[in-house]
Structure 1
Amino acid sequence: MSLARNTLVQATLTLGSRILGFARDLVLSARFGQGPMMDAFTTALMLPNMFRRLFAEGAFAQAFVPIYGGVRARDGDEAAAVTASEALSFMFAVVAGFCILLQIAMPWIMPLLLSAWKDDSGVMFAATTAAQLTMPYLACMTIASLLSGVLNTSGRFALSAGVPVFLNLCTLVPLLAPSLIPMSQPTTLLAVSAAVTVSGVIQAGLLWWGVRRLGIRLNLSWPRLTAGVARTLKLAIPGVLAGGALQLNSVVSQLLTGSNEGARSVLYNADRLYQLPLGLVGVAIGLALVPRLTRAFVSGDHEGGRRTLDDGITLSMAFTLPAAVALFVIPFFIIDATVTRGAFTSLDAARTADVLRQFAWGVPAFVLAKVLTPPFFAREDTRRPMIFAVISVVVTVALGSGLFFWFSRSGVDGVLGLAIATSVSAWINVALLGGTLIREDVWAPSARFVGRFSRVLAASAVMAAVLIPASLFYSDLSRILFAKEIAVIAVVGAGALVYGVCIVLFRAVSVSELKATLKREPGASAPTGLD
């Protein structure tokens, strides 16, 4: 498949999952508002997600894909399956043991993470139990991540992009249940937390089935530190250290917001919205880039690698910039129109919108980092991304903590400081990654790239000019169109239409390129039932 087509498959399926995820968050906010149960759920979900990014979807997964792809290219599918089985057995054993330790220690960890409610025994019990229920999700995602790497290396992207929808489907069931069966907020919290782990089992099971459908036989066995596992760990350790630094940043943010009632809920809602373009575009392109760049560098096709990176950056920004503009220009419009209902008030929406605006200008950097990191991993260079990540984390922790306390003392929401620091550090990380690739002549912006990127910027500016009046007349539009939900759909739709027209008129993307997106590269295999 072409890079654009792979990305299209990833983004389309991820979009379905994100839409359901947004629906889940709407019900969560309506059910819990920004009260103690919402803080408890975001904490319970944060723990497995944080370590999942570190272990499952982080450095180990990114180190495994090039090694698996290299063994497959040199020694064939059978040797690659042995390598994958050894890595799977080792990582699953390590992560499962880690999950059990965290579950045992949770009664002592939770009062530190949720210090604003530490004197409320009911909230502490519910939060601790919820976290213990969600932790097995991490072990399931370890299996799922490695299986996704096997599928993606084989050119199969649909299943790995589609299974995350089960997290949202499973958690929606207990959230909607109180509409039929009366349930207290703590009971609903525990049911949703258990559903998180159920979804992990389903995802891992479906991916296992998908790998077997390809004829690849993987086995879970007693973990052994084989040569293949040791090599993967050697490549992964710098990334783990970098990921650990990133998660340290997350821990600091959690400790700071845990001392402020409702702050963690604000951070969660803002994070979910700005992560939407990152999940749709950054992750999709990153997954599509790694196998393709690996093939290019293994075969010595450096020019092909440059073209792939050129296309990846242009394509990612064409999708990301309009999303970032909308989140920056009309954040309150979006949040109040969609989320405000039930226990979630317009005051909650205003607080969340202020934080979201500070995340929005960092969104392009978050996506660019996803695109600029694969060239390092494709060349088995994990050390320098680690160094750059550590630098950006130091900036985030130092600047974020300073701004949080300064803003709080000044009567300003301290969460704003965390959002500002996150965006600043993201751009620093991009500057370090991109600067290194340019300096080493791994990638150099071509004249064609500069021209197309400039036209994408111009189209985004025109879209912003359309959205700004809408943000000023939000109440009037809601009244004229009879409902705020209709108003936000109309405004976002108009902005997307204007942007799409400008993209074509400015020739940032031509009709022939749109057609090429759907074409398969020469020699690509025919799709299977998985795709």
Structure 2
Amino acid sequence: MTAPAASPPKSGLIRSSLLLSGLTLISRFMGLARDLVLTARLGASATIAADAYYTALAFPNLFRRIFAEGAFSSAFVPAYTKTLTGEGQAEADRIASDALATLAAATIALTLAAQLAMPWLMYVINPGYASDPVKFKLAIVLTQISMPYLPCMAIGALLSGVLNAHRRFIVTGIFPTILNLVMLVAVIPQTDPIRAAFAASVGIPIAGVLQAGLLWWGASKSGARIRLRWPKLTPEIKALISLAVPGAIAASAVQINIFISGILASQVAGGRAWTEVAARLYQLPLGLIGVAVSVALLPRLSSAVQANDHEDAQNATDQAVIFCLALTAPAAAALIAMPYFLIDGLFTRGVFTAIDARETAWILLNYGWGVPAFVLARVLQPAFFARADTRAPMRFGLISVAVNIALGLALFQVIGVKGIAAATSAAAWINVAQMALLLAKRGDYSPTKAAWGRITRIAAASTAFGALLGLASYERDWIEAPLRGINLAGLGAKEIAVLGVAAAGVAAYGLLLLAFRGITVTEIKAALRRRPGDAAVSTDL
């Protein structure tokens, strides 16, 4: 019998999260470069290419988050970690191999079915396109091209879970950059919007194959030996499925709400493109902070729950909540205080017009106040998943989806596409409130008095920060005036002004956070320092 593996080391949660966030930041900057090129090539309301392309990107992404990332964040990582700790690497490899075979088979079947049914599915995904036969057909073809990305990312999600259980975060943080690189290479040479949309869509599955290959190599380097085999519904896989299905729905509630928003937005020419461009900014904190903390938190919570170490679970969750709010509250303040300044400065060029920027800015503002909830949902869910409870978050997620649909339909009739964004933010806060109340009722988690004090000071610092950015937005002409006529590596006055205000804002918020004692210099040093007895996150690939 294989000897049980030693317990995975307790790595510093903040250090793990910062590592992942730093790597994700590189990917997000490359993603921003990709999106700047795409919006300039595709436009929004003035062409049919943008709406069609963003449909092709959104549909496989939704299923990736539901069936791959959501399911295996909620079910696979705790099960794999428990097996690795208690029964050893060989048994963990067997479970991972069976899970990989099952997930790959399911997603390949789903991909083929979706491609065949796409002409009919498009009436559900984007009913607003039906009045434009050319756009409708283009959206069908581009989505069929992009769908093979789903099984690639399903395999990648499982391999990421293996790496996370081994505390190997480097490859997990790097692999998203491949998609951005491939799409930049595909789109930059294109000048026609339709050709650019085709090139970008073809690049999606190519990038998926490369990403899955990198993660497979990384998992092998970590010591895992996962084998390709025919799927078998073993007792362990049946147990995983019973946890994964509700967990997938729970973990993907925000993404389902965003996807529903896109369906409603398809009723307006350019509406889907506006929502997708806004998503590039408001989802930045979710990708940089929420996902990174969630990935680092779940293995640690799983280990703490297995060891019945309530104090470690409490401390880890407190750290995660405070860390997330310290970074997402100012992000929300920025999106609320200067949405048009951001969108116009970054995206208005080519066939993406000032009218598109104005509409996108309103959408961004209404998503902005939901940003802390989007991220907190990713932090609170592991508190359920680590305890093998995926049904309660699923129930809350479904309630938030119902609220989003009802409120979105009502507000859309009154204030248009920006009402859809407001409904999604409201639904996210309802989801978080339900999770927080149940965790407190069960005695599993509620912030300590010290944590509440820290949260209050972070909120005060973020409010002051938002006021400063609001003033900068109001005085935009004065900021840009001395920059007019400058061309720095292709950047003009509005681009330099946005980047300058952003850089100054980061410094200002850091000072405000220290001034309000939302965080201290000593705590910053402690978070980054490797403490005796705490094994550091592995920096091996």
Shift, 1:117, TM fit: 3.9
Shift, 1:457, TM fit: 1.4
In structure 2, the residue matched to 1:336 is 344
The answer to whether the aligner puts 1:27 opposite 2:37 as a matched pair is yes
8 Å contact from structure 2 (residues 264, 420) kept in 1? no
SS in 1 for 2:352: coil
SS in 2 for 1:344: coil
CA shift digits 1:174-214 (9 cap, x unpaired):
21012xxxx53222211111101111111110010001112
In structure 2, the residue matched to 1:151 is 163
CA distance in 2 between partners of 1:431 and 1:114 (Å): 31
In structure 2, the residue matched to 1:96 is 108
Amino acid at match of 1:493: A
Shift, 1:110, TM fit: 2.6
Query: CA 1:484–1:244 in structure 2 vs 1: closer, same or farther (change >3 Å)?
Result: closer
In structure 1, the residue matched to 2:328 is 320
Shift, 1:319, TM fit: 0.7
Q: Percent identity?
A: 44
Shift, 1:508, TM fit: 1.8
Q: CA RMSD in A?
A: 1.7
CA shift digits 1:346-403 (9 cap, x unpaired):
1111111011111111111111111111010000011110111111111111111111
- Which is further off, 240-249 or 279-288? 240-249
In structure 2, the residue matched to 1:123 is 135
The answer to whether the aligner puts 1:497 opposite 2:499 as a matched pair is no
Shift, 1:341, TM fit: 0.5
Shift, 1:524, TM fit: 4.9
Shift, 1:279, TM fit: 0.7
Amino acid at match of 1:113: I
CA distance in 2 between partners of 1:210 and 1:461 (Å): 42
Shift, 1:230, TM fit: 0.8
CA shift digits 1:484-514 (9 cap, x unpaired):
1121122222222111012122222122211
Pairing partner for 2:146 from 134, 148, 157: 134
Pairing partner for 2:473 from 466, 471, 474: 471
In structure 2, the residue matched to 1:484 is 494
8 Å contact from structure 1 (residues 18, 276) kept in 2? yes
CA distance in 1 between partners of 2:453 and 2:347 (Å): 39
CA distance in 2 between partners of 1:260 and 1:415 (Å): 8
CA distance in 2 between partners of 1:359 and 1:303 (Å): 35
- Which is further off, 110-119 or 278-287? 110-119
Amino acid at match of 1:441: G
CA distance in 1 between partners of 2:431 and 2:512 (Å): 30
8 Å contact from structure 1 (residues 118, 124) kept in 2? yes
Shift, 1:527, TM fit: 6.2
8 Å contact from structure 1 (residues 99, 139) kept in 2? yes
* TM alignment of 1:255-294, pairs within 5 A: 255-294=263-302
CA shift digits 1:158-178 (9 cap, x unpaired):
111110011111111121012
In structure 2, the residue matched to 1:418 is 420
In structure 1, the residue matched to 2:18 is 8
In structure 1, the residue matched to 2:122 is 110
8 Å contact from structure 2 (residues 70, 249) kept in 1? no
In structure 2, the residue matched to 1:46 is 58
CA distance in 1 between partners of 2:537 and 2:463 (Å): 39
Pairing partner for 2:79 from 63, 67, 73: 67
8 Å contact from structure 2 (residues 65, 252) kept in 1? no
* TM alignment of 1:379-418, pairs within 5 A: 379-405=387-413, 407=414, 412=415, 414-418=416-420
Amino acid at match of 1:52: R
Pairing partner for 2:89 from 71, 77, 83: 77
Structure 2 unmatched ranges of 5 or more: 1-10, 485-492
Amino acid at match of 2:481: R
Query: CA 1:106–1:27 in structure 2 vs 1: closer, same or farther (change >3 Å)?
Result: same
Query: CA 1:116–1:388 in structure 2 vs 1: closer, same or farther (change >3 Å)?
Result: closer
- Which is further off, 284-293 or 184-193? 184-193
Query: CA 1:342–1:385 in structure 2 vs 1: closer, same or farther (change >3 Å)?
Result: same
Query: CA 1:352–1:163 in structure 2 vs 1: closer, same or farther (change >3 Å)?
Result: same
SS in 1 for 2:188: helix
Structure 1 unmatched ranges of 5 or more: none
In structure 1, the residue matched to 2:317 is 309
The answer to whether the aligner puts 1:438 opposite 2:440 as a matched pair is yes
Amino acid at match of 1:59: A
* TM alignment of 1:126-205, pairs within 5 A: 126-178=138-190, 184-205=192-213
Shift, 1:257, TM fit: 1.8
8 Å contact from structure 2 (residues 105, 231) kept in 1? yes
8 Å contact from structure 2 (residues 250, 390) kept in 1? no
Query: CA 1:393–1:526 in structure 2 vs 1: closer, same or farther (change >3 Å)?
Result: closer
8 Å contact from structure 2 (residues 169, 539) kept in 1? no
In structure 2, the residue matched to 1:236 is 244
Shift, 1:111, TM fit: 4.5
CA distance in 2 between partners of 1:245 and 1:516 (Å): 35
TM-score between the two structures when normalised by the length of structure 1: 0.95
Matched positions, count: 521
In structure 1, the residue matched to 2:464 is 462
Pairing partner for 1:215 from 223, 232, 236: 223
Query: CA 1:327–1:283 in structure 2 vs 1: closer, same or farther (change >3 Å)?
Result: same
Amino acid at match of 2:182: C
Shift, 1:112, TM fit: 4.4
8 Å contact from structure 1 (residues 14, 162) kept in 2? yes
Shift, 1:52, TM fit: 0.6
Shift, 1:267, TM fit: 1.0
- Which is further off, 161-170 or 59-68? 59-68
CA distance in 2 between partners of 1:280 and 1:252 (Å): 23
CA distance in 1 between partners of 2:149 and 2:409 (Å): 30
Shift, 1:241, TM fit: 4.6
TM-score between the two structures when normalised by the length of structure 2: 0.93
Shift, 1:452, TM fit: 1.5
